[in-house]
Structure formats: C-alpha cells, structure tokens
Amino acid sequence: MTQLTRNDLFSLEQYALCRVEFRARVMTHKKQRRLQLSPHLALCFEDALTMQYQIQEMLRIERIFEPEGIQEELDVYNPLIPDGHNWKATFMIEYPDIEERKVALGRLIGIEKGLYIQVADFARVYAIANEDLERDTADKTAAVHFVRFELTPEMIAAIQQGQPVKAGTEHPESSSEVTITGAVRESLVGDLH
C-alpha cells in the first residue's frame, strides 16, 4: 500500500474504542523500524501503519471528522509513506538535556545532508531531506528532519537477496555507521517491491 484513503481510517468513535490496542500494536511495530545510528542520532522508518497512527492521532486531537479535514491530513502524511523503491524516515537528534541539545544542534548544522544508506558495494545513497521546508537556520539545525532514500532496482534486488545494508552519517562533528540487521532489516525489506 502506498497511499492511505479515508476507508483505511477509523472514525473518531471507532478510534476511541480501539485506541489502546491500536497504539500498542503501532509502538511494537515502530520498535522494529527504529535504527540507532549513535547515542544521539536515530532513524525511524515510516510506512503506512506509522502514518495511519499519526493521522488517527491528529484527527483525534483536533476533533476532525469532516471529509475535507480528513483529506487534508491524508494529503500531509501520505507523502511520508514509501512507494516501493525508497525508504522514508524521520531523522532525530536526541539529547534529553535542553542545554546540551541547544549546543549540539548548533554543532550539527547540515548533518541531514551527510545521512546515507549503502547497499553492499553500491555507491552511497544520500538522504533527500526536508522537502517540505528548510529546517536549518544560520545558528542551528532542527532536532527532527524528514528524509527519503531513493534506491535503484539493482540495489533493491541486492537487498532482497540478503546483501548487507549500512546506514550512517558523515559530518565533521558526528560520523557513524551501523549495519541494518534483524527485525529492522526485515521490516524495511517489506517496503520494497
């Protein structure tokens, strides 16, 4: 599934009845789609289920039930669902201490431009970041970036055949690389066709 429609969503009343169970299911699913790049950097890969949850929560919080309002939310979040030849993720810079986070965001300007995926011996695929709006200022970067990684058919075939996949960052202040394995890898393979 690459796009959600109103038919994929619960009504506000239905959602109120199933929210606890649905949320628990989504949180378990999200754990299988979170990749820790370093102690302070993480990628949370999005898909139709994570976006359905986001939409359901927005509809609930804003008490949106009119078809036009529901469609607006679908229009905002559908672009964050991978379409079979890419991965889409929320890239997060995580520092619990506010002062430490302020300093880090000042040091990490442009880090999203050095975020990459590498499949086997293919060239690195650098993230296309923040297509909705620029998230850096002259003084700091944002703590959250929305990114996508466009994969070639050859890369997709290699991933499906079990070739190694790495993710990392290249930045003067923070460089890291991890191999994507286990449940995260399995979940991401399911996004490709």
pLDDT digit string, tens, across residues 120-179: 999 999 999 987 666 667 789 999 999 999 999 999 999 999 999 999 999 999 999 999
pLDDT tens digit string along 67-102? 999 999 999 999 999 999 999 999 999 999 999 999
Tokens 């979170």 belong to 34
Q: Are 166 and 180 in contact (CB under 8 A)?
A: yes
Q: How far apart are the first and last CA of the chain?
A: 11
> How far is 26 from 49, CA to CA, in rounded Å?
7
pTM score > 0.85 for this model? Answer: yes
Distance CA 156, CA 6 (A): 30
Say how far apart CA 168 and CA 140 lie, in whole Å: 21
- Can you name the residues that pair with 88 across neighbouring β-strands? 148
Predicted local confidence at residue 135, as pLDDT: 64
Residue pair 26/56 in contact (Cβ under 8 Å)? The answer is no
Helix (H) or strand (E) holding 74: helix 67-77
How many angstroms separate the CA atoms of 136 and 115, rounded? 15
